[in-house]
Amino acid sequence: MNKAVFFDRDGTLIKDQNYLSDPNQVVLDPNAIKALKALQEHNYKLIMVTNQSGIARGLFPLYKFFAVQSRLIKMFSEAGIIFQDFYYCPHHPEGKVAVYAKSCCCRKPAPGMILKACTDHNINPLRSFMIGDKLDDVIAGNRAGVKTIFFTNNFKIESSTVKPNFWTNNLLDAVHDFILKNEENPSNF
């Protein structure tokens, strides 16, 4: 079975632009390229899992999401980074676009996107990780049975019943100080 790192998109791999719909506004996290290259060198599959409630809310149409996604994939590809897949959830129970206005099993904190990726790509959750900047990312990862890394973006959450395996405000630290370090010491899992 394969091992993977699942990434939230906005606020983790790229700067959170609050319902980003313009491909020209994509700004990579400064450590994203180095972090992703290190994971690729250790044979991790890279998979993006992103909630996109702006579609359900009517803030931007689906084609604008795909335009942003294409720009992001191109930026990574030009740096030699290949994502095996990306999964997105366009739903929100309070959405204004009827077809997307619903509860679902894919919207994080539900683990649906991660579980589908595990099935689609023969991924072993016990050897895999979820990195995200929201507690919903951590909850989804915990529910899917992967190790979780809360990418704090310099925000501090003082009290929470949600427990990630690792906290950091730096993607390189997440990769080197937790993922690769623990890979060398499987007893830490």
pLDDT digits (tens, 9 = 90+) for 97-149: 999 999 999 999 999 999 999 999 999 999 999 999 999 999 999 999 999 99
Per-residue pLDDT tens digits for 2-61: 999 999 999 999 999 999 999 999 999 999 999 999 999 999 999 999 999 999 999 999
Q: Which of 8, 29, 133, 137 is catalytic?
A: 8
pLDDT in tens, 34-46: 999 999 999 999 9
8 a catalytic residue: yes
> Which pLDDT score, from 0 to 100, does residue 182 have?
81
Where along the chain do its domains lie? 4-188
Residue 188 pLDDT > 80, yes or no? no
Is 22 an active-site residue? no
Is residue 186 predicted with pLDDT exceeding 60? no
Report the top-level CATH class of 4-188. alpha beta
Which pLDDT score is estimated for 156?
59
> Could you read off the pLDDT of 60-80 as tens digits, one per residue?
999 999 999 999 999 999 999
Torsion angles phi and psi, residue 28, rounded to 5: -70, 145
* Sequence-separated (6 or more) residues with CB below 8 Å from residue 99: none
Check whether 185 has a pLDDT greater than 80: no
Give alpha helix (H) positions in the chain: 32-41, 53-56, 62-78, 112-120, 135-144, 171-173, 181-184
- Please provide residue 3's backbone torsions phi and psi, each rounded to the nearest 5 degrees: -115, 150
Nearest Cα neighbor of 53 from 93, 14, 85 is 93
Mean pLDDT of the chain: 93
Phi, psi of 4 (to 5 degrees): -145, 160
Identify the helix (H) or strand (E) that includes residue 167: strand 166-168
